[in-house]
């Protein structure tokens, strides 16, 4: 490569980087906007609540009618005291009469039973002696009913009984004598504890469902963007790596420029990888992991950068089961949670990290119908920090949501964590108290597999085999060819599945391995793979892709492909994958 060509190439890379940066900033804004718009759409669903409101109104009318009927018969009932008591006692509604001085005149059986007292224990006693903890609002309500003669309906009261806290809906109507003078108050209480509880439970479930649907769709948006970026970045970083090997002996200025490009594109690629793992499309290399060891290795590193004021305490279960997962992703989860905990304690404090084997029941998984109950490993990270405000709670898992200063938080930490945990078929939850601290807990399915020691090699392994590269994108094709040739391989290129089949048929004896892109128009990687195996069932294939459309890549891996390489890749990575696959 002569110097001019090199300069040109660097210029193009610089422009691309500049354009990419601007696009990225705008896309980030748009993204926040889309999130907002999406929330608006979701909130329209609450229109439905209005219908409920109307239903409630008509119910209220019914209650009022019934109350009216009861009142009408009051005159007669006064003269038929005993009959009355029998009738009252047969009602499931809690009924009481009080005089103007707050003394109970009569209560029915339901009322007495509800509070666990006898009829005689109640009558003639003042309500404030019987229920000392009743609220002042309640007293005021009753006074106004007596004063104005207007009933107060559907008053919700929390009461304490021998059976615990209960909720009553009470209609309070004035108690009039035959002349119409108000002599006290009559109450009808309905036990609504059950419906109140289910209502709250339903609301909570619904909120959670919205939350997870929202995150799913944001994830799809994010994934789409990140995928395109990744393809552009693959080219930028690939070429700058090539440039780097060539510029060694040239002008030091140029070496610096190339290094700057390659460094920035690495940073950008890290960002998009985070986005991809949030969108659950990232690379996924599951192995059995020892969470305890992973935690101590990871946190020890971060501990060094903490100021002394932050102490970390470990409470790790020695018998912890292994989990199957992608090591780097799980490290990312632990790091994100620990850094958030540290950030929440500007004046220092205590971080506690705990692992346990737990059994997760079907009930706990109500919001995650796709998960199976059974054995899980539970990891919780607690801090003694500032806590999370109610209005923030809703949004912490959204990508780009942050309360931190610009430059400190990108707001991707928890979004990524959420994506990774869900990708591992686990779930996440948190508990927080303002001023006291926060605990994030994740559950991952435990595994019976034993943990193996993984050895990482960073060397570049050269080779001499013949490789057929199939990719629909020209720039990627050329880049791969240059990389592989530098490694010593002979390379054939095909621009789609059809061409790949033709070339493979003609050169069957020469080709040692096929590098196959998954996402191609017309015939995709999966179909191409099956056609290739029809020609040669022993064929060696490595899948290569910007992201996995899970089922497809897994399907191909299950059907015998030798491995999966994620774009953008480094020379080390591809060289290692190739030499492993060819050894087989």
Ligand X SMILES: Nc1ncnc2c1ncn2[C@@H]1O[C@H](COP(=O)(O)OP(=O)(O)OP(=O)(O)O)[C@@H](O)[C@H]1O
Question: What's the CA gap between 157 and 552, in Å, rounded?
Answer: 57
Decide if residue 340 touches Mg ion (CB under 5 A): yes
Sign, CA dihedral 509-510-513-514, equals negative
* Site residues (CB under 6 A) for ligand X, limited to 124-163: none
Shorter beta-carbon distance to ligand X: residue 355 or 380 = 380
Decide if residue 18 touches another protein (CB under 8 A): yes
Task: Tell which one of 127, 264, 265, 336 touches ligand X (CB under 6 A).
Answer: 336
Task: Tell which one of 1, 3, 22, 135 touches another protein (CB under 8 A).
Answer: 22
Binding to ligand X by CB under 6 A, coded x per residue (else -) over 474-513, reads: ----------------------------------------
Q: How many CA atoms lie within 13 A of 115 on its CB side?
A: 22
How many CB atoms neighbour CB 349 within 10 A?
Answer: 17
CB within 8 Å of 401: residues ≥ 6 apart = 395, 411, 415
Q: Residue 402's binding partner, choosing from another protein, Mg ion, ligand X, none, with beta-carbon cut-off 5 to 8 A by kind?
A: ligand X
Sign, CA dihedral 29-33-34-36, equals positive
Task: Tell which one of 413, 445, 525, 546 touches Mg ion (CB under 5 A).
Answer: 413
Cβ at position 17, least distance to another protein in Å: 11
Number of residues that bind another protein (CB under 8 A): 23
Question: What's the CA gap between 311 and 294, in Å, rounded?
Answer: 19
Q: Could you tell me which stretch among 49-57, 194-202, 378-386, 556-564 binds ligand X (CB under 6 A)?
A: 378-386
Select the residue whose beta carbon is closest to ligand X and give its number.
Answer: 413
Question: What's the CA gap between 582 and 567, in Å, rounded?
Answer: 20
The DSSP string of 462-494 is: ----EEEEE-S-HHHHHHHHHHHHHTT-EEEEE
Q: For the chain, what is the total number of helices (H) and then of strands (E)?
A: 19, 17
Q: Could you tell me which stretch among 27-35, 49-57, 78-86, 439-447 binds another protein (CB under 8 A)?
A: 27-35
Q: Residue 45's binding partner, choosing from another protein, Mg ion, ligand X, none, with beta-carbon cut-off 5 to 8 A by kind?
A: none
Shorter beta-carbon distance to another protein: residue 278 or 430 = 278
The DSSP string of 88-126 is: HHH-SSEEEEEETTSBEEEE-HHHHHHHT--HHHHTTSB
* Site residues (CB under 8 A) for another protein, limited to 493-552: 521
* Site residues (CB under 8 A) for another protein, limited to 30-49: 30, 33-34, 37-38, 40-41, 44
β-pairing, 286-289 vs 322-326, is: antiparallel
Tell me which DSSP letter residue 537 carries.
Answer: T
What are phi and psi for residue 383, nearest 5 degrees? -130, 165
Cβ at position 521, least distance to another protein in Å: 7
User: Quick one: 68 exposed, middle or buried, by C-beta within 10 A (0-12, 13-18, 19+)?
Assistant: exposed
Which chain residues interact with another protein by CB under 8 A?
Answer: 11-12, 15-16, 18-19, 22-23, 25-26, 29-30, 33-34, 37-38, 40-41, 44, 217, 220-221, 521
Which chain residues interact with ligand X by CB under 6 A?
Answer: 336, 340-341, 344, 383, 385-386, 388, 392, 396, 401-404, 409-415, 438
Which chain residues interact with Mg ion by CB under 5 A?
Answer: 340, 413
């Amino acid at each position: 490569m002569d110097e001019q060509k090199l300069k040109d190439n660097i210029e193009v890379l610089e422009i691309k980087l500049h354009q990419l940066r601007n696009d990225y900033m705008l896309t980030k804004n748009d993204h926040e906007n889309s999130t907002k718009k999406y929330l608006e759409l979701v909130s329209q669903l609450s229109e439905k609540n209005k219908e409920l409101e109307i239903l409630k109104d008509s119910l209220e009318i019914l209650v009022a009618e019934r109350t009216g009927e009861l009142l009408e018969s009051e005159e007669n009932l006064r003269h038929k005291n005993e009959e009355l008591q029998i009738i009252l006692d047969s009602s499931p509604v809690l009924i009481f009469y009080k005089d103007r001085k707050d003394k109970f005149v009569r209560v029915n059986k339901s009322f007495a039973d509800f509070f666990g007292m006898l009829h005689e224990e109640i009558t003639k006693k003042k309500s404030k002696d019987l229920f000392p903890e009743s609220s002042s609002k309640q007293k005021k309500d009753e006074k106004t009913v007596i004063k104005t003669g207007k009933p107060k309906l559907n008053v919700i009261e929390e009461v304490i009984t021998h059976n615990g806290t209960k909720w009553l809906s009470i209609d309070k109507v004035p108690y009039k004598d035959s002349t119409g003078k108000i002599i006290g108050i009559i109450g009808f209480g309905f036990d609504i504890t059950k419906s109140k509880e289910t209502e709250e439970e339903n609301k909570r479930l619904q909120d959670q469902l919205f939350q997870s649907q929202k995150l799913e769709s944001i994830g799809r948006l994010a994934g789409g963007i990140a995928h395109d970026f990744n393809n552009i970045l693959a080219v930028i970083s690939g070429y700058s790596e090539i440039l780097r090997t060539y510029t060694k002996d040239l002008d030091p200025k140029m070496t610096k420029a190339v290094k700057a490009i390659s460094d920035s594109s690495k940073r950008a690629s890290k960002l998009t990888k985070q986005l991809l793992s949030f969108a659950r499309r990232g690379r996924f290399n599951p192995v059995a992991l020892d969470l305890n060891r992973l935690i101590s290795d990871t946190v020890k590193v971060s501990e060094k950068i903490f100021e002394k004021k932050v102490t970390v305490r470990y409470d790790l279960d020695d018998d912890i089961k292994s989990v199957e997962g992608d090591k780097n992703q799980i490290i990312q989860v632990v790091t994100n949670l620990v850094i958030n905990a540290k950030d929440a304690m500007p004046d220092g404090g205590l971080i506690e990290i705990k692992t346990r084997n737990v059994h997760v029941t079907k009930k706990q998984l109500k919001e995650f119908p796709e998960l199976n109950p059974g054995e899980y490993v539970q990891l919780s990270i607690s801090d003694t920090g500032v806590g999370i405000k109610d209005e923030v709670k809703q949004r912490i898992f959204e990508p780009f949501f942050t309360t931190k200063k610009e430059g400190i938080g990108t707001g991707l930490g928890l979004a990524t964590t959420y994506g990774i945990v869900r990708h591992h078929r686990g779930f996440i939850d948190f508990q927080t108290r303002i001023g006291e601290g926060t605990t994030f807990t994740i559950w991952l399915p435990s595994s019976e597999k034993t943990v193996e020691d993984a050895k990482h090699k960073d060397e570049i392994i050269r080779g001499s085999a013949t490789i057929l590269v199939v990719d629909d994108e020209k720039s990627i094709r050329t880049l791969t060819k240059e990389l592989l040739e530098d490694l010593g391989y002979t390379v054939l290129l095909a621009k789609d599945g059809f061409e790949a089949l033709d070339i493979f048929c003609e050169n069957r004896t020469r080709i040692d391995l096929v590098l196959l892109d998954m996402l191609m128009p017309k015939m995709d990687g999966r179909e191409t793979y099956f056609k290739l195996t029809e020609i040669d069932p022993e064929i060696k294939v490595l899948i290569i892709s910007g992201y996995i459309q899970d089922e497809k890549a897994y399907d191909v891996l299950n059907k015998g492909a030798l491995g999966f390489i994620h774009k953008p890749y480094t020379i080390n990575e591809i060289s290692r994958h190739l030499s492993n696959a060819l050894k087989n």
